[in-house]
Amino acid sequence: MIQNIIFDFGNVLFDLDLDAFEREMKKLLGENFAAAREKLLRERVFELYETGGLTTEEFVEKLCFAADSPLSPEQVVGAWNAIFIGMPRHRFEMLLRLRQQFKVFLLSNINELHEQWIAAYMLHEHGFSDYESQHFDGVYFSHLIRLRKPTRESFEYVLADAELLPEQTVFFDDLPDNVEAASQLGIQGIWHEPGTEIRERLVRMNFLPGF
């Protein structure tokens, strides 16, 4: 019997254009983009930022000086935040309905800049000053817990902290590797195809009544 639902954020609840960051950086760096990208990946800059290993200031500086021609912090932050599309109102209503029957959690590989952008969006677009506590029983961001999916430790952290039994828990994510990692711990991992509607999936699985 499922009692707990854990959602990934990006492209499950919040719509993203994940290619937008690279497109914007290519515009800014031109022929220097490939070398800059290789350098950032080699130094694990994105992974470190997502797990709290770099401050926002350090992260922005590394992106600014990844190529021979430096970028401004404003250019870097603008490109970094270009991935966001939005979260439609009906998904908030969905979360509230789910919480009438289940405990609902959020587990996301995320960083401080994106967390701040989302918080501002939630306020100006939907009027939520504290969307986390209003819609979730617990929120776990990788840069705060210093663990990221698909590591086993990230899921173990959530299970222990929220006192959840894996066999009573279902997890939705848009990346198969993350789903597989959760499944290995006994969680019912479900791959959510980006571009499809999560509410419809929940109705088909009988977690929600039909609309």
Question: What is the set of domains in the chain, with CATH numbers?
Answer: 4-14+87-204 (3.40.50.1000), 20-83 (1.10.150.240)
> Which pair of tokens denotes residue 85?
């599309």
pLDDT for res 9: 98
Cα–Cα distance, 173 to 132 (Å, whole number):
18
- With a CB cutoff of 8 Å and minimum separation 6, the contacts of 160 are none
pLDDT tens profile 151-183: 999 999 999 999 999 999 999 999 999 999 999
pLDDT for res 210: 66
pLDDT tens profile 183-196: 999 999 999 999 89
Predicted confidence band at 209 (pLDDT cuts at 50, 70, 90)? confident
* Side chain identity, residue 163: E
pLDDT tens profile 51-81: 999 999 999 999 999 998 899 999 999 999 9
Alpha carbon of 163 to those of 114, 166, 177: distances in Å? Answer: 28, 10, 24
Whether residue 199 has pLDDT greater than 80? yes
What percent of the chain is predicted at pLDDT more than 70? 99
pLDDT for res 142: 98
Cα–Cα distance, 179 to 40 (Å, whole number):
26
Whether residue 22 has pLDDT greater than 80? yes
